[in-house]
Amino acid sequence: MTHQINIEGIKLYGFHGCLDEEAKIGGHYVVDVFMTTDFSEAAANDDLSKTIDYCTVFEIAKAEVAIRSKLIEQVCERIYTKLKSQFPTLITLHVKLTKLTPPMNFDVEKVSVEIKD
C-alpha cells in the first residue's frame, strides 16, 4: 500500500540569484514537497517514528534555502537529495521550489523549478 504526504507552502527567505543585489537583498521562496510512502504501521500504531516527520522536512528545506546559490535549481537539488537520504522509505519524491517576484525587466509573479521521481 502507498500513501501520499504533502507539505505545501513552506515560506522561507533566501539570497539566491545571479545578480549581486540578490545576494544582498534576498527574496521570498516557497517550497512544496510531495512524498509517496507507506505509513500503514504509523497509522495503525500512532507512531511518528514510522512515518515522515513534517518538522524534519521543514528543517531540511530551511537549511538548504539558507545556503546561497546562484541558481534555484541547485537549491532544489540539495533539498531533494537530503530528503531522499533522510527518509529511505520514500517511494516517490517531488520537490518544487518557487522564487517570488524575481528581479526581471518585466512583470513576473514567480518562477519555479521541480524535481520528481
Task: Name the active-site residue from 11, 50, 96, 99.
Answer: 99
CA distance 94 to 81: 11
The grid cell for 85 is 537520504
* Cα–Cα distances in angstroms (integers) from residue 17 to residues 1, 6, 21, 47, 111, in the given order: 41, 27, 9, 41, 12
Enumerate the β-bridge partners of residue 5.
Answer: 35
- Residue 99 known to be catalytic: yes
Contact 55, 94 (CB under 8 A): no
Q: Return the H-helix or E-strand segment holding 79.
A: helix 72-86
Bridge partners (DSSP) listed for residue 113: 97
Residues with active-site annotation: 99
